[in-house]
Each structure stands twice: as C-alpha cells, then as structure tokens.
C-alpha cells in the first residue's frame, strides 16, 4: 500500500505512515482488550483525507480502549493517564480544525504506544509470578508491538542492537507462551532492557520532557 498523501497545505514530507504503521500487525498476539493502535491509525487516515470529525472520533475510540486497559491492569497508571489527557486535548483540537500538522498526531500516538508498552511489561512480570506463563508471553509480545509502533509514529529506524533486543524479546515471548523454562532472572533482565530502550527513545523523541 502506498503512503496517503496529505492535503496541499502540508509539506510533502508529512505523510501518513501507511506502510510503517499497518492497521494490524501480523506478529501481534490477540489480547482480550481492544488495542488502541488500530484506532489511532484510522484517525491518521481520516485526518489525511481531511475528515477531522471522523479522525477525532477514532481518537476518542482509542482513548476508550486505553481507559479500559488501564482499568484492567493497575500498572503504570500515571503514564497512561498522562497520555489519555494529551489525547483528549488532541481530539478536541482535531475536531475543531486547530491542528496544522500531522506531526502532532504522530507524537501523541507515539506517546500512547510508549505508555502502553511500559504497562504491558509490568503486566508480563505480574502474570509470570502468578504462574500464568502463556498470558505473560502474550503481554510481552504486545509490549514489543507497542514499542515498534512507538518508533514508527516517530519515523525512527532502530539500530542493529535495538532491533536485536526487540527480536530477542519476541522470541522470549514465544517461549513463555509454549511453557518453556524461562527463569525469573532472564525475564527481569529482558524487561529491564526494554524499559531502558523505551526511556532512551523518549529522551530522543521528547528531549524537553524527559522520562515521566
């Protein structure tokens, strides 16, 4: 699929990441909760077409999904709530035609993906200690998916080392799902490494904000 070209008032460089941010990832394992990323992608498509009301509606749908996830998993609620507040402001601005650049949408959606990735890492650890290895693997895979989307919304290409870490994490999630013998130490080291990666990206993408 080709990239969706934005209206003439926007620069050529500002395109919806049609190839980089697909509606659904082939690697994503389905969770019981609705995943907000799909709604945010639809919001980007609608905004690119000039349908601001529809775009704002999809953002609201994504917010509702994030709120449901946050209510289901009491982990990293502060970051999730901060992202939700940012998205609510964005939805209002989009609906009232007060956003001049798609970059503002990409940034907010990237921050949402980052907060969701952190939450999934926390839930992975919780489920592991509850002896729910398969569910822990599902959440770990979802954390990888959100981390990938975080990069994609910011149009960032990972280094070889970063790519290797994400690949290793995906393999670890598969091992957890199959019930392989994953040690507590191995899982904790992996989660710590992904956490650090997300923090480093936040410093890169939002240098003025720092880690929340």
Model pLDDT, residue 204: 92
How does pLDDT run across 10-24, given as a tens digit for each residue?
Answer: 443 344 443 334 434
pTM of the model: 0.82
pLDDT tens readout for residues 143-178: 999 999 999 999 999 999 999 999 999 999 999 999
Please give the structure tokens belonging to residue 40: 């945010």
pLDDT digits (tens, 9 = 90+) for 40-77: 989 999 999 999 999 999 999 999 999 998 888 866 68
Q: What is the DSSP string of 80-109?
A: HHHHHHHHHHHHHHHHTT----HHHHHHHH
| Half-sphere CA count of 68, side-chain side, radius 13 A | 12
For residue 41, what is the enclosing H or E element?
helix 36-49
Residues 6+ apart with CB under 8 A from 182: 128, 133, 172, 175, 176
């Amino acid at each position: 699929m080709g990239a969706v070209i934005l209206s003439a008032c926007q620069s050529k460089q500002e395109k919806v990441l049609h190839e980089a941010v697909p509606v659904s990832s082939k690697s994503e394992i389905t969770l019981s909760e609705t995943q907000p990323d799909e709604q945010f992608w639809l919001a980007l498509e609608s905004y690119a077409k000039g349908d601001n009301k529809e775009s704002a509606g999809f953002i609201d749908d994504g917010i509702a999904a994030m709120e449901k996830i946050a209510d289901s998993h009491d982990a990293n609620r502060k970051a999730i709530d901060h992202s939700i507040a940012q998205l609510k402001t964005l939805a209002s601005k989009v609906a009232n035609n007060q956003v001049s650049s798609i970059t503002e949408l990409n940034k907010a959606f990237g921050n949402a993906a980052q907060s969701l990735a952190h939450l999934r890492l926390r839930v992975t650890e919780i489920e592991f200690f509850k002896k729910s290895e398969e569910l822990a693997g599902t959440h770990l895979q979802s954390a990888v998916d959100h981390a990938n989307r975080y990069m994609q919304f910011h149009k960032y290409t990972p280094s070889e080392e970063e790519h290797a870490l994400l690949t290793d994490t995906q393999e670890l999630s598969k091992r957890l799902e199959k019930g392989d013998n994953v040690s507590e130490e191995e899982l904790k080291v992996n989660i710590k490494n992904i956490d650090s990666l997300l923090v480093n990206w936040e410093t890169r993408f939002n240098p003025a904000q720092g880690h929340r």
